[in-house]
Chain A
Amino acid sequence: MTDTPHRKLERSATGFMLAIVAAASVGGLVEIAPLFTIDDTVENVKDMRLYTPLELAGRDIYVREGCYACHSQMIRTLRDDVERYGPYSLAVESKYDHPMLWGSKRTGPDLARIGGKYSDFWHVAHLSNPRDVVPESNMPSYRWLATTPLKLSNLPLMLKAQRTVGVPYTDEMIANASADARGQSAPDSEQSAGVSERYGEATQVSAFDGVATNVTEMDALVAYLQVLGQLTKAAYENTAAPEKMPDPNN
């Protein structure tokens, strides 16, 4: 056999490994690096809100329970996706999502715009035993969430870490994180006013699990589900088939 360049390469472990690194790096660099620099990867939207501490805690519970394994949060640019779930998802809507929860499988329906479509009461009943509301469902029940108190002392740490990775939480938001979580789940309490002040008037203040006196994991998860698709109105503007954003107060 002639001594081809490849035969020579096979004699050098170092050379071979450098060639592997070179060949394997190109694809990732070309596809990932520009996503950070090209301006129109993520739309610029003025009304984009942050997750409140309670909603962020609910998001972490959604992650912890692996909800993403069966529910996507990404409505594709396909007619049947849009007609079933609402306007297709925009990049800006997950701009503060660390990590993103677009999902890869729909054993259950997409949840990108579930917020405001069902009442808090429906969500609590459904999470407690899905088959009480949807007899055909194969979703696990999560009744223990209603009896598990939310760990409020972690909230400032969570907001701080979120700020480190780029979410613009202010010092004031971090300092009041625990109080805001309590306030958001206890309407008409002293603390509830501060939530709307810091996170915007559109923030839903509600005794999510029906009990205003304590903050449970059920409160947090329902608060998160109710804010899905509600962080910005951008997806409802300039669309071919105008549709109104679900209003949670109706």
Chain B
Amino acid sequence: MGQLTSGERDLAGAVLVFMAIMGVAMAAVGGSEPLGIHGVMVLLCSVGLLFVLMSTAFGPAPDPARLGKYYDDPIKVGVGFTLAWAVFGMLIGVWAAAQLAWPALNFDTSWASFGRIRPAHTSGVIFGFGGNALITTSYHVVQRTSRARLADQFSPWFVLLGFNLFCLIAVSGYFLGVTQSKEYAEAEWYADIWLVVVWVAYFVLYVRTLARRKEPHIYVANWYYMAFIIVVAILHIVNNLAVPISFTQAKSYTIWAGVQDSMVQWWYGHNAVAFFLTAGFLAMLYYYLPKRAERPIFSYRLSILSFWGITFFYMWAGSHHLHYTALPHWVQNLGMTFSVMLLVPSWASAGNALLTLNGAWHKVRDDATLRFMMMAAFFYGLSTFEGSFLAIRPVNSLSHYTDWTVGHVHAGALGWVAMITFGSLYTLVPSIWKRERMYSAALVEVHFWLALVGTLIYVFAMWNSGIIQGLMWRTYSEDNALVYSFVDSLVAMYPYYIARAFGGLLFLIGAIVASYNVWMTVRTPNPAPSPTGDDLPIGEHAGAIPSAAE
């Protein structure tokens, strides 16, 4: 924060004072209700940050030479948030998984029952871990590929800290029973409004930084970050339109009803997968993978095909979550059709990534960081194939409502999203802290195998349980009666629920190993040979950033 100009310090101070007043107001009207508790949390966060700000308030004005360098301070803090949320979100996930096998693990409390910690897990990993990874890497990538410094020094902090405040309010709310029940959009109206404010600031920052670029062309990673920022805003606003029962209470009712709500929710839900968990992470893939492999992207044309295919097709696919329901048949048909077509742009990106590694396979063998990214591209291809397959109506009749869906999501979340994130972080951390390499290559290797084995155990357990469950529900005897009661199918699930919790535990241990490795990298002085690392300077003319083969 030492780089903030006096004007930016004043602005930050004003925003924090305003937030503190809002916190007091929420605490006053909310009392001991959840809204009041959240008010106190907002107040404490703002006052805490005010103290940090005050400690630099009378410091010297920042060095003008800073404008010739990239602004990396928020990225360093963002790496910390990313890893903290990863460990927290995965820990809650393992706990939730264990509760399905051993229901007594909620210790008979309301706040720890499965229905409340499940959204804490999903929001913790999707928004906490994934969201922070996206914001952090986007700050890094947009500066390097544009050869421009972030547009100012206030808004990167506002976006990063504001987003984490949203995550904190959302996740703490679920434990208190504050939820709209909309999957992956459970946070209530006041948190949703706050996220809109943060997101607009993020959009403005991104556009202003792009406007300062010294490269004439916008690099493909930035296309994906732009799509992520813009479309998530549209989805978030439409899905979360709601009427609070009172401005002094957390509870609200969505404006959408019944069948329309189902379509809006899954239009949101599936595109949260598309634009939060795919587009932004493809941006990481398109920057960090060629960078680490030191190979240009295999095909520029495939990048274009893939980008526009994903942006256009995905928005049609949400209704495949509603096969055989009361949603009109024609909408189900459209969802199925576009889901199958989505395989083309998805595999274009996965193939583009794997073909980029041609000529660098010896590095994949030796470098666990690059292997993380290779495996991510592989799992991306696998889970998008599975997604298209499960969207076909007759297949869906077997898989829907079963653990197969859960297995599919985790093939994507663990195998693709988390692995590309860890690969990117292992590339980003030494570069930002100007270290020659990570503290321990051996620990990266350990993490890779924990992550891979954990994912495989998890996914195979859920494939098995899902298919068994689906088959048991539809098994008929010779005299045309259903053979199994629902409880029979539940009893058959227990061994898989235990295996799944074990797979998740391995993945969690991997994330803890990663956090330790990052911590030690930061703490251990091991300066890179060149003081600027491998960054290109903020420059005048186009240079050799990893651009498409032409």
Contact = CB atoms under 8 A, between A and B. Distances in A.
Contact of A80 (B115, B325, B473): B473
B217 A154 contact: no
Interface in B269-285: 275
Interface stretch (B50-58, B102-110, B148-156, B434-442): B102-110
B115 to A, nearest CB: 2
Contacts of B119: 66, 69
B261 interface: yes
B324 A78 contact: yes
A135 B485 CA distance: 14
A45 interface: no
A99 B243 contact: no
B455 interface: no
A27 B316 contact: yes
Interface residues of B, number: 97
A47 interface: no
B113 A165 contact: no
Contacts of B317: 27
Contact of A20 (B227, B318, B325): B227
Interface in B324-362: 324-328, 331, 334-335, 338
A65 to B, nearest CB: 5
Contact of B99 (A66, A108, A109, A140): A140
A63 B181 contact: yes
A6 interface: yes
Given A80-B474, A107-B100, A142-B113, A89 B257 contact: no
Interface residues of A, number: 88
A89 B255 CA distance: 22
Interface stretch (A28-36, A116-124, A182-190, A237-245): A28-36
A84 B108 CA distance: 31
Contact of B328 (A7, A38, A74, A108): A38
A144 B232 CA distance: 38
B406 interface: yes
A158 interface: yes
Interface of B: 99-101, 103, 106, 108, 110, 113-116, 118-119, 174, 177-183, 207, 210-211, 216-218, 223, 226-227, 230-231, 234, 238, 243-246, 249, 251-265, 267, 275, 300, 304, 308, 311-319, 321-328, 331, 334-335, 338, 397, 400-402, 405-406, 473-474, 476, 482, 486-487, 490-491, 494, 497, 550
Task: Name the 3 nearest CB pairs between A and B, nearest first.
Answer: A66-B115, A27-B315, A76-B324
Given A65-B116, A66-B181, A138-B494, 6 more contacts: A23-B312, A27-B315, A64-B178, A84-B486, A99-B180, A166-B257
